[in-house]
A = this chain, B = another copy of it.
Amino acid sequence: MEVKQVIAVRTDLGMGRGKLAAQVGHACVMGAERVRLSRPEWYEGWQGLQMKVVVRVDGMDGIDDVRRRAADANLPWSQVADAGRTQLEPGTVTCISVGPAPSDLVDGVTGDLRLL
């Protein structure tokens, strides 16, 4: 069983690449920790390669859509709100992770999104 984590990032915020990478890092850690505790068999299956794919959404509507679809599919998701120390207003949602979870299930939620 292939297991992956997909992170959808907002492209409308004009984040620099370091900022963007740190936000994706938050989503990866939060999502992985959630799945380690709630679905240890998925977490275990994700070890080794720890496949991660970063995709794009063009605004908050896209984040909301991913979150709803993940919830409908009973997949664990983690949304990142920026602390607002640099570049963004506090509380700005920057990205959302889905999984790590079986790839076919994740693809049902994020499969139509383009790579960042």
- Which residue numbers of A lie inside 8 Å of B, CB to CB? 5, 7, 9, 16-22, 24-30, 32-33, 49-50, 52-56, 83, 115-116
Complex CA distance for A7 and B9, rounded to whole angstroms: 19
Chain B residues whose CB sits within 8 angstroms of the CB of A21 once the complex forms: 7, 9, 17, 20-21, 24-25, 54, 116
Number of copies: 2
The answer to whether B18 and A115 touch across the interface, beta carbons within 8 angstroms, is: yes
Given contacts A115-B18, A116-B18, contact A50 B29 (CB under 8 A): yes
Among residues of B, the one whose C-beta sits closest to the C-beta of A5 is B25
Chain B residues whose CB sits within 8 angstroms of the CB of A20 once the complex forms: 17, 21
Interface centre among A18, A21, A22, A53, by most chain B C-beta atoms within 10 angstroms, is A21
Tell me the smallest distance from the CB of A40 to a CB of chain B, in Å.
13
Complex CA distance for A116 and B19, rounded to whole angstroms: 8
Complex CA distance for A26 and B115, rounded to whole angstroms: 17
